[in-house]
């Protein structure tokens, strides 16, 4: 007995420590789908970029793994960022919210200066060594954090002034993003803020007025012709610098053809003709879903959508079970962000949403998008596992 007791004591101590640790509540249904999606991402990026290795003048010339290697690096960094986001108690982030927010706004302003670089007609990034930072991606995270931090304080008491403050929090980065111009990210920020406002307890009539202003604004913009012209420019600018509207419908046709070509079980990995022959533009970034659709078919694409559904569901559930309102609002922001981005991105490849440049979280090639997506998942996992403490 004597020999057994210390052991059992150690055991129970460990168990006790584990039971008291928030990591005990780390949600596997949130993290595992994300890991699967990132593995899938590397495979699909390889499939859609391996052909570039034969094209003179391409950055990937001579190296079919060029984009895969870079993305693998982004995923590594993203995992670290997620770990850091999980480790720091989200309640402390609340204190840092304003600082992070102001830093992001500063970066958004900076990118518009001549120091930022213009790609495909959009002044959206600045160089950092061999990589390009896209502050608009980080703006999504900052807006979630800032809006949740502010609204949580005034829970259940969202008067007009406070609603305007929340709108203002979104409006500053949104305006800067529109100046780039980047319609897609602006729409994401708009969706995030509406969801956060909604859950934060904005009065129904305020929401109605907001909707009215929004619709009126849209009608005026279209009639004046500003938005229409802008949209056309935007649609074509990110796809093809020499593009015209005919070119963008061509792209949409190619995108739908690639997905349709997948059928039930797909053409097989690396065997999609639309994918391997480069018919779909921007396929490793905004149109990565077409590669999944063509090569893995309905089964693969539906599985991918289900993984997104799982992440969104776990985030929504975390919002529902969170033990404080700040945590709940953070999760609502993440739900809104992921849902809208997946819907807009997948929807545009299938022709049910207009074409705007939004990456598919965890799937599209790109560092900034990966970092922010990991950070957001980290945020949800953070809230989720600390719901008992």
Partner 1 sequence: MNQTRLRLSIIGVVVIAVFSAMFARLWYLQIAQGSEYVAQAESNSYRTLQEAPLRGRILDVKGKVLADSRIANVITIDRGIDPEQQKIVVGRLSELLAVPSKTLESRLADQRVSPYAPVPVAVDVPIEALTFVSEHSEDFPGVNAEPMAIRRYPNGSLASHLLGYTGEINEDELAARPTSAKYGLGEDIGKEGIELTYESTLRGTPGKEEFQVDASGNVLRSVRRVAPKVGHDVQLTIDLDIQRVAESALADAMASARTRRDITRADKFINLKAGAGSVVVIDVTDGSVVALASNPTFDPNEFINGIPTVRWKALNDPVNNYPLLDRAIAGQYAPGSTFKLVTAVAGLRSGMITPNSTVEDTGKYKISEQTFTNSNSEPFGRISLQRALTVSSDVYFYTIGGSLWSKQRRNESGGDVIQETARLYGFGRATGIALPNEAAGRVPDSAWKQRIHDARPDAFPYPDWLPGDNVQLAVGQGDSLATPLQIAMAYQAFASGGRLSTPRLVSRILDSKGRLNRENPAVEVGRVPVPGRDTMLAGFGGVVGSSTGTAFGAFGSYPQTPPSVGGKTGTAQVAGKQNTSLFVGFTPIQNPRYVVSVVVEEGGYGAETAAPIARAIFEALNGLPVGPVASLAYEGGN
**Site residues (vs partner 1, CB under 8 A):** 51, 156, 195, 198-199, 201, 253-254, 256-264, 273-274, 277-280, 293-294, 297-298, 301-302, 305, 308-309, 312, 316, 319-320, 325, 328, 332, 335-336, 339, 342-343, 346-347, 350-352
| C-beta closer to partner 1: residue 62 or 260 | 260
Number of other CB atoms surrounding residue 252 within 10 Å: 19
Helices (H) and strands (E) in the chain, counts: 14, 3
| C-beta closer to partner 1: residue 37 or 75 | 37
Sheet holding 122-128, edge to edge: 117-119, 122-128, 131-133
| C-beta closer to partner 1: residue 180 or 290 | 290
CA 156, chain centre distance (Å): 28
Round to whole Å and give the CA distance between 183 and 188: 9
| C-beta closer to partner 1: residue 13 or 323 | 323
How far apart are CB 112 and partner 1 at their closest, in Å? Answer: 32
| C-beta closer to partner 1: residue 181 or 282 | 282
Q: Which tokens hold the place of 100?
A: 């992070």
How far apart are CB 230 and partner 1 at their closest, in Å? Answer: 25
How far apart are CB 320 and partner 1 at their closest, in Å? Answer: 6
Q: Which tokens hold the place of 125?
A: 């990034």
Round to whole Å and give the CA distance between 98 and 149: 9
Comparing CA positions, the residue from 386, 387, 388, 384 lying closest to residue 314 is 384
Round to whole Å and give the CA distance between 369 and 24: 28
| C-beta closer to partner 1: residue 110 or 298 | 298
How far apart are CB 146 and partner 1 at their closest, in Å? Answer: 20
Residues 305, 306, 309: CA angle, nearest 5 degrees = 90
How far apart are CB 73 and partner 1 at their closest, in Å? Answer: 28
How far apart are CB 277 and partner 1 at their closest, in Å? Answer: 4
| C-beta closer to partner 1: residue 283 or 369 | 283
How far apart are CB 224 and partner 1 at their closest, in Å? Answer: 30
CA distances from 246 to 4, 42, 101, 346, 366 (A): 79, 32, 40, 21, 27
Comparing CA positions, the residue from 226, 230, 190 lying closest to residue 210 is 190
């Amino acid at each position: 007995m004597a020999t057994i007791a210390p052991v059992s004591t150690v055991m129970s101590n460990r168990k006790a420590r584990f039971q008291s640790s928030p990591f005990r509540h780390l949600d596997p249904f949130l993290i595992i789908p994300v890991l699967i999606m990132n593995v899938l991402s590397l495979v699909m990026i390889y499939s859609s970029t391996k052909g570039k290795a034969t094209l003179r003048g391409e950055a990937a010339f001579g190296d079919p793994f060029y984009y895969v290697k870079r993305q693998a690096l982004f995923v590594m960094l993203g995992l670290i960022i997620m770990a850091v986001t999980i480790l720091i108690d989200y309640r402390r982030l609340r204190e840092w919210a304003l600082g992070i927010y102001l830093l992001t706004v500063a970066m958004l302003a900076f990118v518009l200066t001549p120091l930022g670089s213009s790609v495909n007609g959009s002044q959206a990034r600045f160089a950092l060594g061999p990589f390009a930072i896209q502050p608009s991606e980080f703006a999504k995270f900052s807006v979630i954090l800032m809006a949740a931090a502010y609204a949580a304080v005034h829970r259940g008491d969202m008067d007009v002034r406070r609603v305007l403050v929340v709108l203002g929090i979104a409006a500053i980065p949104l305006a800067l993003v529109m100046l780039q111009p980047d319609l897609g990210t602006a729409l994401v920020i708009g969706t995030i803020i509406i969801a956060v406002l909604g859950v934060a307890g904005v009065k129904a009539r305020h929401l109605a007025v907001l909707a009215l202003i929004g619709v009126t604004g849209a009608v005026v913009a279209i009639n004046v012709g500003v938005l229409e012209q802008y949209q056309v420019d935007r649609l074509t600018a990110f796809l093809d610098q020499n593009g015209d509207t005919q070119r963008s419908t061509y792209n949409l046709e190619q995108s739908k053809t690639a997905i349709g070509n997948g059928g039930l079980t797909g053409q097989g990995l690396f065997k999609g003709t639309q994918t391997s022959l480069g018919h779909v533009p921007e396929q490793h970034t905004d149109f990565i879903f077409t590669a999944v659709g063509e090569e893995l078919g309905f089964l693969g694409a539906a599985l991918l959508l289900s993984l997104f559904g799982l992440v969104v569901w776990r985030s929504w559930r975390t919002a529902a079970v969170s033990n404080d309102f700040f945590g709940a609002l953070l999760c609502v922001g993440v739900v809104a962000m992921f849902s809208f981005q997946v819907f807009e991105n997948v929807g545009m490849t299938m022709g049910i949403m207009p074409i705007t440049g939004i990456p598919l979280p965890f799937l599209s090639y790109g560092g900034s998008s990966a970092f922010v997506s990991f950070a957001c998942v980290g945020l949800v996992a953070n809230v989720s596992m600390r719901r008992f403490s």
